[in-house]
Copies of this chain bind each other. A is one copy, B any other.
Amino acid sequence: MNREIPEFSLQRMPVYLNYLRTLPDDGTYNYISSGAIAQALGLGEVLVRKDLAYTGCAGRPKVGYPRAELISALENFLCVNDSKSAVIVGAGGLGSALLCYGGFSHYGIELACAFDNDPAKIGTTIGGKPVLPIDELNEGCKKYGATLAIIAVPASAAQQTAELLIKAGIKAILNFAPVQINTGDEIKVINIDVAANLAILASML
């Protein structure tokens, strides 16, 4: 689903959801206008209205969006209530940090386990999650019913890792290795190159 929505609208959906979830529940924000959301997030009001229209939640003239309904609509849109399983390949610094991070559960995602090839790590748990040998990637992904994976291995191992993941039934990959991975059109990929993002910021100064 969600293939008809422009990618940049889709990227803003968790931003709206995060923002609405953090507002106080004291009655002040039972309704919130597109203008108020736009101002809080530094976005244009028309853009906010267009984005939120994809969720099917309708704002009411002069009143705004009923916040609880809008949160539910965004949660449905992002499939937060469908539990999904993800694995991490690479239990180094970044992989370990992600294993210990609790934020995935806010989106109905459970990190099931990590895979690594370091004998010192295999058999341990990090953040309560088992670290399995990379040789068990195929059966591990299937055991946990994982459809999502995070690649947190060095660039030189990223392509091979992606191919193993796809063979194991993974449908979407968040790739932290600073290299392009070729996966074919059926697999969804988002790349996060931390150093490149800092370089982009530096070049904007």
Contacts and interface: CB of A to CB of B under 8 A. Distances in A.
A124 B174 CA distance: 32
A147 interface: yes
A1 B41 CA distance: 25
How many copies of the shown chain assemble into the complex? 2
A201 interface: yes
A47 B60 CA distance: 41
Given A179-B22, A195-B109, A196-B107, A203 B98 contact: no
Interface of A: 1-3, 10-11, 13-15, 18-19, 22, 40-42, 77-80, 82, 84, 86, 92-94, 96-98, 100-101, 103-104, 106-109, 147-148, 150, 155, 171-174, 178-180, 182, 188, 190-205
A114 B202 CA distance: 18
Contacts of A193: 14-15, 18
B195 A101 contact: yes
A180 B39 CA distance: 12
Given A14-B199, A93-B96, A96-B97, 10 more contacts: A11-B200, A15-B196, A18-B193, A78-B199, A79-B202, A86-B198, A97-B97, A109-B202, A171-B205, A172-B205
A141 to B, nearest CB: 15
**Residue among A18, A108, A188, A194 with most chain B CB within 10 A:** A194
Contact of A197 (B2, B174, B178, B200): B174
